[in-house]
Amino acid sequence: MAIARLDRPVRGRRAGRGAFLGAIKPNTYDSVGKLLTRAGAREQGSAESRVVGGERSDSMSAREAIQNELHLLSNPIVYENVARKVGPARIFSAYDPANGHGEKDLATGWMHRFQSWWFARTASESDNLGHPPDHCAACVARAAQSLRTAIEPHAEPGSNVITVICTTNSAELSADIVDAFIAEALVHHQAVFSSDVSLSFLDEQVQAAVADAKQSDEALSEYRVSCGFYDAEVQRGHLLTEVNTLETDLANDNARLAALEAEEKVVRSELEKEAPTTRLTTHGAVLPNPERSLINQRLVRLRDDLLALDGRRDLTAQQLEAERTTLNEQVKVAKAELESEPEFLEPGVSTQETPNPRYTRLREQLDRNREEDVSLRSSSSKRVERLTHLRERLVTLERCGPALRVLETAAKQNKARLDSFLVARERVGTLDLLDSEKMINLRPLQAATFPLAKSGPKRGRLVMIGGMLGLACGIGLGFLRQSLDRRVRTTEDVGRVLGTPVLGVVPDLRRKGPRARPQPPESTRVRA
């Protein structure tokens, strides 16, 4: 025999819970905004490609551009900036349906008041920050996390449009969050593809390249001055050409000097065989006597003077007579001399010394050869000096050449490096100018729409579905609990488990209210 304490089973307490949860479901409002994205030179290239060039030759597909933009929009900094812009206090403010766009009948008003009280209580219980929401780091982080669940950016199929949907319990808040998200998306897009870092880097590199180019040019100039060479390869070519020319001229001069020496020997031997002058004997012809011709000329002049006396008026008669007497005497003397002189002279034999023309010719040739020899030796001496100087220059060039080539190469490399940085600076400067004008490939296509009607919930359906699901869950859990329960609850369970008759039932004294007297088992009543 056994005495058992029996517990009554608990069944179906969940039917009203689902209906309650459906009733307190807050209203939601959807605001929609749209962005248009494209892939340009800025989006397809990296910072390195903008600096060194070589952007992608193949165009980025629209799908790739949209996926990249969606990844950019999912950056936590975008949500944090939106949270700061909208404000954590506004994001975490308790939902108050009484101030919303709900119905105005009595039942709805009482339900809205209950919901306002319920959401205010749950908001205060869930706030574990210890202070009202403000712009502290923890509040901004929690607000950003809430926005990640409230904001849904997705790509429109078959287009370059990204749609941004925000669902909150306030129409104004949804629209403001979408506008803030679109604005921050534009800012973040421009910041990610901004050329500021590349521009700062290029400015530093240009300054460094200018300094390096100036330093290498100065070092090259100083070394050129010290060595006396400015272009090693060109000057080496000029020096070698001049050396070859001088060597050829010297060889020609030496050959000509040897020829002159041989010719001088021949001329000297021929000159020794010739006399400087030759004796010439001539027989003269009959010639008029020159003295007789002179006397005749004087006699004619005297007669002319006698004739001229008759016409003179500047002399007196005595003077004229005296002059005439003198002239007549001179005429007589001239006639006497004329008679004493023969009319022709007899020819005679004359002998005279004349230069030997062959000797003269050989002597002139010898002089010319000596002058040419002296000139050739002087020019050869100058050529030898010049050739010695050029060879010394070549030796100096070979000694200075390697270092000069190194400095020239360094100067060319620094100049090319500077030019490449200047080209890259101009390219990136153009992109920076586009950035300053807000010309980016992400454009707002549609501002946030203001939701005039709530998007949810369908409260009647939620209440009905919640009640049915709560009832079904309660019944299911009751049957499951009963099937899995191994405790003894009835007298039949005691008799089945122990195999003995039950003598009596002890009531549960902990229960309040009227107690029903337990009925003894049938076997006990019969036995009594």
Look-up: residue for tokens 């929401």? 133
pLDDT tens-digit series, residues 93-109: 766 666 655 455 555 66
Single-letter amino acid, residue 162: I
Phi, psi of 351 (to 5 degrees): -125, 130
pLDDT of residue 373: 92
Which residues lie across from 349 on neighbouring strands?
A: 283
Band (pLDDT 50/70/90 cuts) for residue 456 is low
Phi, psi of 433 (to 5 degrees): -65, -40
* Contact (Cβ atoms closer than 8 angstroms) between residue 181 and residue 78: yes
Band (pLDDT 50/70/90 cuts) for residue 463 is low
What is d(CA 524, CA 528) in angstroms, rounded to the nearest whole number?
6
**Is the pLDDT reported for residue 281 higher than 80?**
no
The Cα-based distances of 224 to 140, 228, 397, 411, 467 in angstroms read: 67, 5, 11, 13, 99
pLDDT of residue 6: 35
Radius of gyration from C-alpha coordinates of the chain: 69
pLDDT of residue 318: 85
Mean pLDDT on 261-268: 91
Which residues lie across from 443 on neighbouring strands?
A: 36
**Is the pLDDT reported for residue 137 higher than 70?**
yes
**Closest C-alpha among 487, 489, 488, 491 to residue 524:** 491
pLDDT of residue 202: 85
What is d(CA 413, CA 408) in angstroms, rounded to the nearest whole number?
9
Q: Global pTM?
A: 0.51
Band (pLDDT 50/70/90 cuts) for residue 180 is very high
Distant-in-sequence, close-in-space partners of 93: CB < 8 Å, separation ≥ 6: 123
pLDDT tens-digit series, residues 299-337: 888 888 888 877 777 778 888 888 888 888 888 888 888
Phi, psi of 489 (to 5 degrees): -120, -30
Look-up: residue for tokens 């390219």? 427
* Contact (Cβ atoms closer than 8 angstroms) between residue 67 and residue 81: no
Which residues lie across from 395 on neighbouring strands?
A: none
Residue bearing the bigger pLDDT, 209 or 59:
209
pLDDT tens-digit series, residues 186-196: 888 888 887 77
pLDDT tens-digit series, residues 375-403: 999 999 999 999 999 999 889 888 888 88
Q: What's the DSSP call for residue 283?
A: E
**Is the pLDDT reported for residue 84 higher than 80?**
yes
Which DSSP string do the residues of 436-485 spell out, in sequence order?
A: HTT--SEEEEEPPP--SS--B--HHHHHHHHHHHHHHHHHHHHHHHHHH-
Handedness of CA 97, 103, 107, 109 (dihedral sign): positive
The Cα-based distances of 280 to 49, 73, 253, 339 in angstroms read: 108, 131, 44, 36
Provide, rounded to the nearest whole percent, the portion of the chain with pLDDT above 70.
74
